[in-house]
Structure 1
């Protein structure tokens, strides 16, 4: 079993209100050297919470996260752990990671799928 860290990826259409919709899960397992994520961006849920939100812009921002996880662009110089820390750092943006949690798993890829189905 390996320890892992995970955080929900959420859309916060109005940061001043603090309401959010979970749209994915980010998972980092240092021992297995795994940084991965899964997305399930439900436009209807977001529209119900924030009908005024620019859904195209939000979708672009959400779909940029997997590229950072993969190490594309400037993030490519960072280790998986550094990318996880950068992605989960607190920020006041429309797309942000929620709090970081920990767990134990033998299979990080199966765990991120389990978390996605449970939380999103």
Structure 2
């Protein structure tokens, strides 16, 4: 049975003032399956094309923290999955941000997350 899920593309914006971005991951939340996960993929050459001085290790560390937040790491330890998702997709002016939230239907949220990463990021 297909169930609803929400997802957002994780974007890297290495120079906020220019507004240029690349997709670096997908965040997917499915309440019915108690599922929240982020899958990331950083194409260093694309990031450096936007900003040759981008701090690639710092961007990778920040992406790792998004994945850790999904699993309850750090400050998100006491939060419910939906709260973590809303926290991650909240508007922010940083190098990493979530794009608009979209909805979909899927039978397997984990497989759908992998499909979306292949389609939107890789």
Residue 37 (structure 1) aligns with = 38
Secondary structure of the residue aligned to 2:87 is helix
Unpaired runs of 5+ in structure 1? Answer: none
Residue 112 (structure 1) aligns with = 113
Structure 2 counterparts to residues 1-120 of structure 1, below 5 A:
1-120=2-121
**How many Å separate the matches in 1 of 2:42 and 2:6?**
21
* TM-score, normalisation: structure 2: 0.95
> Aligned-pair distance for 1:119?
0.4
Task: Give the length in aligned residue pairs.
Answer: 120
* TM-score, normalisation: structure 1: 0.96
Q: What is the alpha-carbon root mean square deviation over aligned residues?
A: 0.8
Unpaired runs of 5+ in structure 2? Answer: none
**How many Å separate the matches in 2 of 1:102 and 1:70?**
21
Deviations 1:55-107 (A, max 9, x none): 12222112111110110122010000000000000000001111100000011
**How many Å separate the matches in 2 of 1:9 and 1:33?**
20
> Aligned-pair distance for 1:36?
1.0
- Stretches of 4+ aligned residues off by more than 2 angstroms: none
Secondary structure of the residue aligned to 1:109 is helix
